[in-house]
Structure 1
Amino acid sequence: MKDYFSYDERLGISIPILEKEWEEYSKETRQLILLYWEKIRGKIPDRIAILEKWINSKQEKLNDESDFERCCELNHDIAELASIINDLWIWYRINQDISKIHH
């Protein structure tokens, strides 16, 4: 599946990289892509739960932090983690609409 997916370091999952229109892939290839995507998609909620724990940990540190620079760093980290979670939810919702992804 390496021809159809690429690991995204930021998101921590592989995402589809479809270079042709969905209909241009054989039926067998489309089924394999969908099966592989469903395996990845099924792991997204677990990935989100891990990121939420990291956010909670950083928020606890932020509550006890008095250094302004460190507060800014923690806020930045929290915002980045929240952004990743948002992007993961978008990918999670794609489900069978993977056919509309085209790069």
Structure 2
Amino acid sequence: MRSDFIFNGRLGIALPRLDQRWEDYSAAKQAEILAEWETIRGTIPDRIAQIEETINQKQEALGEEENFEVSCRLNWEIADLASIINDLWLWYRTHQDISTRLHS
């Protein structure tokens, strides 16, 4: 992976890491970064589906759990995973305009 992206362990994808203003990159470098982002961006729906499967498993376990402390932990884990999904969708949607530039 190039240095223009850094892996975010919480989200499970690499995110852009720009060391300078976008306008300061050459057109070739911008195209290279956009191409890499488009590849990464394309993996976001699959990443979300993986997390949703984990949430479904935890919700199933929660429905059967009788221990209050364990129920609280499962609820917290589900909420955390839902937050990750929300952040992934924000990255996916917010940067659609960037992906559009790639195809222009």
TM-score, with structure 1 as normaliser: 0.91
Please give the root-mean-square deviation of Cα atoms over the aligned residues, in Å. Answer: 1.2
> Which position in structure 1 is the counterpart of 2:44?
44
Structure 2: 5+ residue stretches without partners: 100-104
The higher-RCO structure (CA 8 Å, 6+ apart) is: 1
> Which position in structure 2 is the counterpart of 1:84?
84
TM-score, with structure 2 as normaliser: 0.90
Structure 1 runs (4+) deviating above 4 angstroms are none
Query: Over residues 9-41 of structure 1, what are the superposed CA-to-partner deviations in whole Å (9 max), with x where a residue is unaligned?
Result: 000000001121111001000000000000000
Residue 65 (structure 1) shift: 0.3
Contact (CA 8 Å) 1:38, 1:95: kept in 2 or not?
Answer: no
Q: Distance in 1 between matches of 2:49 and 2:39?
A: 17
Superposition map of 1:19-34 within 5 A:
19-34=19-34
Structure 1: 5+ residue stretches without partners: 99-103
Number of residue equivalences: 98
